[in-house]
């Protein structure tokens, strides 16, 4: 299952971002590049598209920045209502995102991880859990996803090393991705 922008997403909604998440051994990592593009112009090279929502939850986003921040705030509200239930909070957010008149206009995708789960959320109501704990979103997401899957079986590489290498490969291929990586990780118990 490839976890990239759904076909119903606007073609230009996810330019300027690559996010990859890797779960391996006792780590889960979310990494994102720093490039923000407007059309064919690079506006910023050092943006942060990866956040720690709480001490135990990581989030990466692709799409319109203001939309992503709105969705992260809504997810934090859902997490307050459903503590320690990441999947339930994400499903509740996805329902609102799909049905609320304001939210359904938001153009973004999110990857959210905790100790146990990696989830991909879309504006069409999807809450997807990749079988292998690896997901990629954004314009370079498919490249980073492919690279991370290829590197996952290399014993000498932990989740962080895989994510960094996958991001470097995506930056070499996707013109909307740069090598300025922001990375957050959780050490799993």
Catalytic pick among 17, 21, 118, 122? 17
Query: What is the C-alpha to C-alpha distance for residues 181 and 19, in angstroms, rounded to an integer?
Result: 10
Query: What is the C-alpha to C-alpha distance for residues 186 and 97, in angstroms, rounded to an integer?
Result: 27
Rounded to whole angstroms, what are the CA distances from 22 to 32, 39, 76, 95, 100? 12, 29, 22, 26, 31
Backbone angles phi and psi of 68, in degrees to 5: -65, -40
CB crowding 122-151: b at 16 or more within 10 Å, else e:
bbeebbbebeebbbbbbbbbbbbbbbbbeb
Alpha-helix residue ranges (DSSP H) falling in the chain: 65-81, 86-99, 141-151, 159-173
Cβ pair 54, 24 in contact under 8 A: no
70 is catalytic: no
Provide the token pair at 185.
Answer: 């990780």
Give the active site residues.
17
């Amino acid at each position: 299952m490839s976890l990239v922008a759904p076909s119903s997403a606007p073609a230009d909604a996810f330019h300027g971002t690559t996010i990859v998440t890797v779960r391996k051994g006792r780590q889960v990592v979310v990494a994102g590049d720093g490039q923000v593009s407007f059309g064919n112009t690079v506006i910023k090279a050092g943006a942060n598209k990866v956040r720690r929502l709480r001490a135990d939850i990581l989030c990466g986003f692709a799409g319109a920045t203001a939309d992503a921040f709105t969705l992260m705030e809504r997810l934090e509200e859902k997490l307050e209502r459903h503590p320690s239930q990441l999947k339930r909070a994400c499903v509740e957010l996805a329902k609102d995102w799909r049905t609320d008149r304001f939210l359904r206009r938001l153009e973004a995708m999110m990857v959210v991880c905790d100790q146990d789960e990696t989830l991909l959320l879309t504006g069409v109501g999807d809450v997807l859990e990749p079988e292998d704990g690896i997901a990629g979103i954004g314009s370079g997401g498919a490249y980073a996803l492919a690279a991370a899957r290829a590197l996952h079986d290399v014993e000498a590489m932990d989740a962080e090393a895989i994510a960094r290498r996958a991001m470097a490969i995506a930056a070499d291929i996707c013109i909307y991705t740069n090598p300025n990586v922001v990375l957050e990780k959780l050490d799993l118990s």
